[in-house]
Amino acid sequence: MLRVDVEKRLGEFSLHASFTSEGRVTGLFGASGAGKSSLVNMIAGLLRPDRGTIAIDGDVVDDTAAGIHVPTYRRRIGYVFQDARLFPHLDVAQNLDYGRRMNGLALDPAQHKRIVDLLDIGALLDRRPGKLSGGERQRVALGRALLSKPRLLLLDEPLGALDEGRKLEILPYLVRLRDEANVPMVYVSHDVAELRQLATQIVMLKQGRVTSFGGVKVLS
Amino acid sequence: MSEITPAEWTAILLSLRVAVIATLVATPFGIALAWLLARRDFWGKSVIDALVHLPLVLPPVVTGYLLLLTFGRRGLVGGFLADYLGIVFAFRWTGAALACGVMAFPLLVRPMRLSIEAIDRRLEQAAETLGAAPWKVFFTVTLPLALPGVLAGMVLGFAKAIGEFGATITFVSNIPGETQTISSAIYSLIQTPDGDAAAGRLVIISIVLALGALIAAEWFARRATARLHGN
């Protein structure tokens, strides 16, 4: 469960969003500039709200009144960015293993195999990120985030940098993740079709405000 | 050009020892400072930045004299170090290393700082979302990606240290076998009536060492670019 009630001023723009989501995939929908990325960055702890609270699974990670701000690295979240942000000095296998090492988790070969198979990245393990296509990079980024065993996975327009063909290539993987990976997700997009396929709940943002909230039907 | 004499060898080996020690000791300080200047905003940052570059623009004899005042036996720091820790800089090779380290520092820090500034901060953010505490981000992402720049800084610092003259001779004088480096040996030789041949040999060695360092720095810089593109 994700509970968000935050205010943030960024120059001229002001964001004031409040929602509680129990869904497996919460879709954050809105035009560019609606505040979607700022909201996700606040959930990740990369951006600090001016006022408000954020709780992940009942665990308060931000509470400005109580002076609580849990740093990003202790939030146990996974984050897939629009640009995959793979570490260029590490090969794919090392990128995938990074979160496990940083969190001091034990090796889990079964989980590793499951995710590598789910995303079809077994053939890429000894390649460097520079030698991957955009779609491959994004699949590795998904695997890297999942293997850090997050309690919430944030995806900020993960298909945004891909052309139509590549999008269609990745979407089925995301559907499989939703159904099999058992990690709740927040999925940011301005693409109605994408969210119809993936989201179970929609938070609609317009100019920094939540304008509707509910099932996928609010998109129509 | 005949063979290199034992006295010349002494100067060459001393220069190498002084420059290696100066570079190795200066490197951790250089990395820390490069990171601070590249990644942090703090009060007095421009003053620190100016202080680091000071040895580059100050007459070396002034830097040497200031070192003598500070680290000489009667100097504020030098007196303390000699009395309590038994570390003496004045007229010792360690003093030559200190002078070379100070003079080389701006050249050593600069490539390190540039390479840290060139790293995409979003990679560091990604590392944080994967559970890496700030110090782990530094050692697993920032430092490895900056490594070619760090090495280039070390090479340039080394090249500067091995050729340093003014501050060294002012601070620790020109004592054969103790503080007489290649540069001060050349200086002595060209003032001696038939020192030309010996001076010539040392000049050639200086040129070779400096060129080698520049080529190495260039090579590291190219490696850095390749590394940042993930190839």
Of the pLDDT bands very low, low, confident and very high (cuts 50, 70, 90), residue A15 is: very high
Q: pLDDT at position B226, please?
A: 77
Strands of A185-189's sheet in order across: A68-69, A59-63, A51-56, A2-10, A13-21, A209-214, A201-206, A25-29, A185-189, A152-156, A77-80
What is the spatial distance between Cα A39 and Cα A156, in angstroms, rounded to a whole number? 10
B230 contacts A130? CB cut-off 8 A: yes
Chain B residues closer than 8 Å to A99 by CB: 130-131
Distance from B48 to chain A by nearest Cα, in Å? 29
Examine the pLDDT at B1 and tell me if it is beyond 70: no
The total of structural domains in chain A comes to 1
Who contacts B94 (Cβ-Cβ below 8 Å, separation ≥6)? B21, B87, B88
Of the pLDDT bands very low, low, confident and very high (cuts 50, 70, 90), residue A213 is: confident
Question: Choosing among A89, A103, A153, which should be mutated to test the B contact, i.e. which has the most B CBs within 10 A?
Answer: A89
CATH number, domain containing residue A189: 3.40.50.300
For the segment B23-42, the average pLDDT, to the nearest whole number, is 95
For the segment A144-167, the average pLDDT, to the nearest whole number, is 90
A89 contacts B230? CB cut-off 8 A: yes
Domain that holds residue A8: 2-219
B125 contacts A131? CB cut-off 8 A: no
Domains of chain B, earliest start first: 9-228 (1.10.3720.10)
What is the spatial distance between Cα A143 and Cα B93, in angstroms, rounded to a whole number? 55
Helix (H, G, I), strand (E, B) or coil at A106: coil
For the segment B191-211, the average pLDDT, to the nearest whole number, is 91
Of the pLDDT bands very low, low, confident and very high (cuts 50, 70, 90), residue B32 is: very high
Question: Per-residue pLDDT tens for B144-163?
Answer: 999 989 999 999 999 999 98
Residue the block writes with tokens 């969210």: A195
Q: pLDDT at position B230, please?
A: 60
Which residues of chain A from 152 to 171 reach within 8 Å of chain B, CB to CB? Answer: 154
What is the spatial distance between Cα B125 and Cα A84, in angstroms, rounded to a whole number? 12
Distance from A97 to chain B by nearest Cα, in Å? 10
For the segment B44-69, the average pLDDT, to the nearest whole number, is 93
pTM for this prediction: 0.88
Mean pLDDT of chain B: 91
Of the pLDDT bands very low, low, confident and very high (cuts 50, 70, 90), residue A167 is: confident
Contact A46, B125 (CB under 8 A): yes
Chain A residues closer than 8 Å to B230 by CB: 86, 88-89, 128-131
Q: Is A126 on the interface with B (CB under 8 A)?
A: no
For the segment B31-59, the average pLDDT, to the nearest whole number, is 93
Q: Is A89 on the interface with B (CB under 8 A)?
A: yes
For the segment B104-110, the average pLDDT, to the nearest whole number, is 95
Burial class (CB in 10 A: 0-12, 13-18, 19+), A101: middle
Give me A133's structure tokens: 């296509």
Q: Is B229 on the interface with A (CB under 8 A)?
A: yes
